[in-house]
Amino acid sequence: MKRILSILAAVAISSLFVAAQAVKSDTSKDSAPTTEIRKVAAPQTSAIDGQANYKAYCAACHGVSGKGDGPAASALKVPPTDLTRLAANAGGKFPTMHVETMIRNADNPSHGSKDMPIWGPVFRSLSSGNQAQVELRVSNLTKYIEALQAH
């Protein structure tokens, strides 16, 4: 029996795509339920609403609070980064450029694992290729993450 555990996480570009949904499956009474990630289509959100973008595309893994405790986290090989510690880990200054780069193209192998979806193409698709809107979305999302920083 499978039961949907949480809201959807990640996202899709047209037919190919990256969204995730955490699903718990209890196959038998004896084994602990395991969490699986299911790919789902990315919901549309307003490019100017950083919080809505975060909740729709990031919270499943990074958690609503940003601490890396989203419902899909346990299904990943690499734990999602605690996004509330980014400034603290960078000597107190929030690394805006780094975060924007991570959001646009986490496919760069120097930026870690394949568990972090690649948002650039997804956001371009959501904005029908409107580059100014993609930049606005990335910028507002980054500002929202900056507001989550632990002090």
Q: Which residues bind ligand HEC (CB under 6 A)?
A: 9-10, 20, 57-58, 60-62, 72, 76, 78, 80-81, 98-99, 102-103, 112-113, 115-117, 119, 141
Which residue lies nearer to ligand HEC by CB, 28 or 134? 134
Q: 45-79 burial, b if ≥16 CB within 10 A, otherwise e? A: bebeebebbbbbbbbbbbbeebbbbbbbbebbeee
Supply the minimum distance, in Å, between the C-beta of residue 56 and ligand HEC: 8
Residues in the chain: 151
Supply the minimum distance, in Å, between the C-beta of residue 141 and ligand HEC: 6
Supply the minimum distance, in Å, between the C-beta of residue 29 and ligand HEC: 29
Which residue lies nearer to ligand HEC by CB, 2 or 98? 98
Which residue lies nearer to ligand HEC by CB, 1 or 82? 82
Sign of the C-alpha dihedral computed for residues 108, 106, 151 and 96 taken in this order: positive
Supply the minimum distance, in Å, between the C-beta of residue 22 and ligand HEC: 9
Which residue lies nearer to ligand HEC by CB, 1 or 87? 87
Which residue lies nearer to ligand HEC by CB, 130 or 143? 143
